[in-house]
């Protein structure tokens, strides 16, 4: 009876009784899930891998379309293409959260957005968007140009800030130059990603 109810609730699409689909999913997205693998993420490592597993599983259950997974180092490193089936143990094994390079804090996110825009340029017939998992600490000025290009192409970026109570991003300040001098303002005041959320517990994820 539970299976019958589930079948009806799915609008007669997922037939769990015979373990087959009766109607195809109307969702056809190309979703790029990107995880910051730089050294600044080390303290968030376990939390980040929990988030990766939770989101990947949720997207699979929702049957939203094709999912690719990438690591953010000095630029984008594609670990799973849109055409490849998810392999969670493999993906988890690829992250050490120890990447460090000169000026990576200034260029890593900007290079990633540039590369992901180029990847999405090659995808056709689907609605593309990108989910970024990071601590949100990067050079905001360098990424604006590529985010502007993404908006022009209608590529949606969702930035998930994996935060900690200790040394929270909410307590960070940025320097803002005014005619009257220099002023300290909240770091997130001019955050370049239009859509972002702050998560401190994996249970807050969908």
What residue segments make up the domains of the chain, in order of their start? 25-204
- The pLDDT, as a whole number, for residue 49 is 93
Q: How far apart are the first and last CA of the chain?
A: 27
The CA distance from 12 to 15, in Å, is 7
- Report the greatest alpha carbon distance in the chain: 71
In 122-203, alpha helices (H): 140-152
Among residues 41, 123, 145, the alpha carbon closest in space to that of 78 is found at: 123
Question: Left, alpha or beta for 11 (phi > 0: left; psi -120 to 50: alpha)?
Answer: left
Residues 89 and 52 sit within 8 Å (Cβ to Cβ): no
The CA distance from 113 to 138, in Å, is 12
- The pLDDT, as a whole number, for residue 58 is 87
pLDDT along the chain (206 residues), means of 10: 41 46 63 95 90 89 90 95 91 93 89 97 87 95 96 95 87 83 89 94 69
Burial class (CB in 10 A: 0-12, 13-18, 19+), 94: middle
The CA dihedral of 147, 109, 50, 131, to the nearest 10 degrees, is 10
Among residues 201, 29, 20, the alpha carbon closest in space to that of 130 is found at: 29
- The pLDDT, as a whole number, for residue 206 is 59
> pTM value?
0.83
Among residues 29, 30, 34, 198, the alpha carbon closest in space to that of 113 is found at: 34
For residue 196, what are the contacts with CB-CB under 8 A and spacing of at least 6? 136, 158, 159, 160, 161
The domain 25-204 having CATH identifier 2.30.130.10: the answer here is no
Q: How many residues does the chain have?
A: 206
């Amino acid at each position: 009876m539970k299976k019958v109810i589930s079948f009806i609730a799915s609008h007669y699409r997922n037939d769990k009784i015979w373990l087959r689909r009766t109607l195809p999913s109307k969702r056809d997205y190309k979703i790029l899930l990107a995880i910051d693998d730089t050294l600044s993420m080390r303290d968030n490592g376990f939390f980040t891998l929990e988030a990766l597993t939770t989101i990947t599983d949720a997207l699979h259950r929702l049957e939203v379309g094709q999912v690719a997974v990438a690591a953010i180092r000095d630029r984008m490193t594609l670990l799973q293409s849109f055409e490849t089936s998810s392999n969670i143990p493999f993906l988890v094994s690829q992250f050490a959260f120890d990447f460090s390079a000169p000026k990576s804090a200034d260029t890593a996110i900007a290079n990633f957005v540039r590369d992901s825009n180029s990847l999405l340029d090659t995808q056709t017939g689907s609605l593309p968007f990108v989910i970024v998992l990071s601590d949100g600490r990067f050079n905001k000025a360098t990424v604006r140009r590529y985010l502007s290009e993404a908006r022009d192409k209608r590529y949606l970026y969702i930035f998930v800030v994996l935060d900690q109570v200790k040394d929270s991003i909410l307590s960070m300040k940025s320097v803002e130059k005014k005619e009257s001098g220099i002023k300290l303002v909240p770091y997130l005041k001019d955050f370049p990603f239009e859509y972002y959320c702050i998560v401190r517990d994996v249970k807050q994820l969908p």
